[in-house]
Structure formats: structure tokens, C-alpha cells
Amino acid sequence: MSDRDARTPRVFIVRHGETDWAKSGRYTGTTDIELTKVGAAQVSSTAAMIVGAGKPLDPSSLAHIFVSPRKRARKTFELLLPQSSFGAAGWEERVTYTEHIAEWDYGDYEGLKFAEIIQLRQGKGLDREREWNIWRDGCEGGESMKQVSDRLDKLISQIREIQRPHMNGGEAGNVLLVAHGLVLRCFAKRWIRYSVDSPLPMMLAPGAVAVLSYKNGNIDEPALCLGLELRKAEPSDVI
């Protein structure tokens, strides 16, 4: 990793920890569900490994944080970055709870499993020529691909403006997103200007972290960050 790459702002995307519905394969969009004990432990484990001064996700490096307003995302944020992580007062101004990063609204399919959705749609005479694909077909009574893309694009525009002044290093310019599995995969596609239904298979486990950034320190070259330089923090690195 070049010095330029190390100074280029990053976007950390974090999926909330396990919930009972997610564990059982039920589509969970607008329903407000708490983390399981395992889910809370997943996030706490992630925080212990990567969050802190001199670690990949240093609270002092964050220019802004966007969190889904659902309980499972809020709790994940609290476990990932306790208030004590921020030190100085006024950190609340850097946090926005926004529906822009809420999970896909599954509408009539909320709480159902994949096989149940397929059965429901077939009973209505749908999908006779091809199997239902949420990326392409959206959800009855819920959101379409375009609606999800539009709200994510608005958020991406906000993030670009936040990070634009920091492309050559300087003060903290990183951004953190805490949200949900499907919408974060959509976000990653839109970040690199792919359509939400592009065939780009991705996985993001409960409590997991992924990183987005820019190539060549250029705001017009958004990229997936496939790896970070992992090195021991020097005294000069710790603020």
C-alpha cells in the first residue's frame, strides 16, 4: 500500500450482529428486532480486534457516521463504538441515523423465508419464465430496485462531499456505516457505480466489516478495498 493509499479516506461498512430472524433465514426489513446474545458477542469481538487508537477503525479518524435507525443497527453501533471511544464531547454531531441506509423494505415478504416467498409468488401466477430475483424484481408492497438505488445514491453523494476535502490526507476523513446485510451489499455495488442487480456475488457475515475507498487518491475513482495494510502502530500514529 502506498503512502497515498494510506491517506485516502475510507468507508467502513459494518453489518449488525445476529438476530433470531436472520439466523432462521427470515427476511427482516422494517421489523425492529434485537440482537441475540451471539449477535452482541460477534460485534464486541469485532470491536476488540479492529477498533481503537492505532487500529484499522480508529474513532479519531471518523469524519461522520451513518447508522440505520433499526434497533439491531443502533445496538451494533453502541457495541462497536461506545461513547467512551470518542473522548471529546460533541461527537454526537458526527452521527446521523438515517433511512437512507435502512434495510430493503420487503413489503409483503417481511418475515418470510426464501422458499415461502417463491411459493407465494407462484400462487399469484408470477415468475413463470424466470425465478424471482430481489435485486431485479424488488418486493410486492415494498421497495423496488430503483427506490433502493436512489436512496443509496443520495447517501453516496453526501459521503463524497464529506470526503472530498480529505483526498490528500490531513484531518480525519473516514466514514462509518452501520446497517444491514442486503442493503450494504447494494451500497457496495452503487459505490463502484454498478447496478444493484449486477452479478457481483458478495458475502457479509453478521458483525463483519468491509472497506471501500478510492483508487489513486481520486474522488472520481471509487473502489472496493480488498485489503488493508496491517502493521503495528507507531507512537506517531496514535493521536
> Looking at residue 136, which CATH number applies to its domain?
3.40.50.1240
Give the per-residue pLDDT at 54. 84
- Give tens-digit pLDDT for 64-119: 999 999 999 999 999 999 866 666 556 778 899 999 999 999 999 999 999 999 99
Tell whether residue 130 is among the known ligand binding residues. Answer: no
Tell whether residue 103 is among the known ligand binding residues. Answer: yes
Give the per-residue pLDDT at 94. 87
The model's confidence at residue 41, banded by pLDDT at 50, 70 and 90, is very high
- Give tens-digit pLDDT for 196-214: 999 898 999 999 999 999 9
In b/e form, how buried is each residue of 56-72, taking b as 16+ CB within 10 angstroms? bbbbbbbbbbbbbebeb
- Give tens-digit pLDDT for 44-74: 999 999 998 888 898 889 999 999 999 999 9
- Give tens-digit pLDDT for 126-145: 988 898 988 888 899 999 99
Mean pLDDT for the stretch of residues 221-237: 67
Q: Among 86-90, 150-154, 157-161, which is the least confidently predicted range? A: 86-90
Tell me how crowded residue 177 is: count the other CB atoms within 10 A of its CB.
26
Q: Which amino acid belongs to residue 40?
A: A
Tell whether residue 29 is among the known ligand binding residues. Answer: yes
Give the per-residue pLDDT at 87. 60
Tell whether residue 72 is among the known ligand binding residues. Answer: yes
C-alpha span between 66 and 208 (Å, rounded): 16
Residue 16 known to be catalytic: yes
DSSP string, 7-29: HS--EEEEE----HHHHTT---S
In total, the chain counts a number of residues equal to: 239
Tell whether residue 237 is among the known ligand binding residues. Answer: no
Burial (0-12, 13-18, 19+ Cβ within 10 Å), 102: buried
The domain total for the chain is: 1
Task: For residue 133, give the nearest of 69, 205, 201 by alpha carbon.
Answer: 201
Tell whether residue 21 is among the known ligand binding residues. Answer: no
Average pLDDT, the chain: 88
Model confidence at 230: pLDDT above 60 = no
Residue 166 known to be catalytic: no
Q: Which residue in 16, 100, 166, 180 is the catalytic one? A: 16
The model's confidence at residue 6, banded by pLDDT at 50, 70 and 90, is low
Q: Which residue in 64, 100, 103, 180 is the catalytic one? A: 103
Task: For residue 42, give the nearest of 211, 205, 212 by alpha carbon.
Answer: 205
Model confidence at 175: pLDDT above 50 = yes
Percent of the chain with pLDDT over 70: 88
Give the per-residue pLDDT at 236. 44
Domain ranges, residue 80: 3-237
